[in-house]
Amino acid sequence: MYKITDAFFIYEGNKGRDKLMYIEDPLNEKYIPILDLKWVERKTDERIQEISRYLDDYIDLDNLTPFDLFVFLLRVRYYEQYIGNNIMIHMPLDEYERIVDSNYLAFIIAKYLLDKEHLYEENKVFIQDFNTFNKLYSLFKDQNFEISARYIKSLYRKFLTFIKTEL
C-alpha cells in the first residue's frame, strides 16, 4: 500500500489489479476504488510508445541508462496526471495543490513504479532520494508539457544536460 494522503492510497490488488482508493468513511472502513491503475498503465504505455519514436536518433544504444531514467520520469508524469485528475474531485483544492506542487504525489508514484518496473540500478538512486528526485522531476513539471516531437527532443536534450551538469 502506498499512502498519498489520509484519504487516498494505492492498493496493490492480486493479479496486478492495483487501484487508487478513496477512504470515504475510515471508521466503518468504507473504501471506494476510483481508478484502475491497469488502465493508467495502458494509457501511459501508449503515450510512451508515441514519444519514444521521436527520440530514436538521440538514443545511445551503448548507454541506455539516461534514456531509461527519462522514460521512467515521463511515466511518473503521466501517472501523476491521471491520478491527479481523479483525486482532485475528492479533496480540497489547497490540499491537492500542496501535494502536486511539492512533487509529493509524483514521488509516491515513483516509489510505486520503482517496485513495479525495471529500472537500471544506477538510476534507482536518483529516484529514492526525494531531493534528487525533485531536481530531476522539475524538468517534467512544465505547465506547457506536450507530446510534440520538437518539445520532447528539446526536453530530452535538457534532461541529458542536466544529468551531466547537476548530478
Residue 66 domain-assigned? yes
Residue 13 domain-assigned? no
pLDDT (0 to 100) of residue 25: 85
Residue 106 domain-assigned? yes
pLDDT (0 to 100) of residue 28: 85
The count of C-alpha atoms lying within 13 angstroms of the C-alpha of 43, restricted to the half-sphere facing its C-beta, is: 14
pLDDT (0 to 100) of residue 16: 72
What cell does 161 get?
A: 544536460
Full pLDDT tens readout for the chain, 167 residues: 899 988 899 998 777 789 999 998 888 888 999 999 999 999 999 999 988 888 888 888 888 899 999 999 999 999 999 999 889 888 888 888 888 888 999 999 999 999 988 899 999 999 999 999 999 999 998 766 777 888 889 999 999 999 999 87
What cell does 100 get?
A: 502536486
Residue 152 domain-assigned? yes
Q: Residue 137 sits in which domain range?
A: 37-166
Residue 16 domain-assigned? no
Contact 6, 23 (CB under 8 A): yes
Residue 21 domain-assigned? no
Residues in the chain, overall count: 167
Q: How many domains would you assign to the chain? A: 1
Residue 53 CB burial class (10 angstroms; 0-12, 13-18, ≥19)? exposed
Residue 25 domain-assigned? no
Residue 18 domain-assigned? no
Q: What is the pTM of this model?
A: 0.90
pLDDT (0 to 100) of residue 117: 87
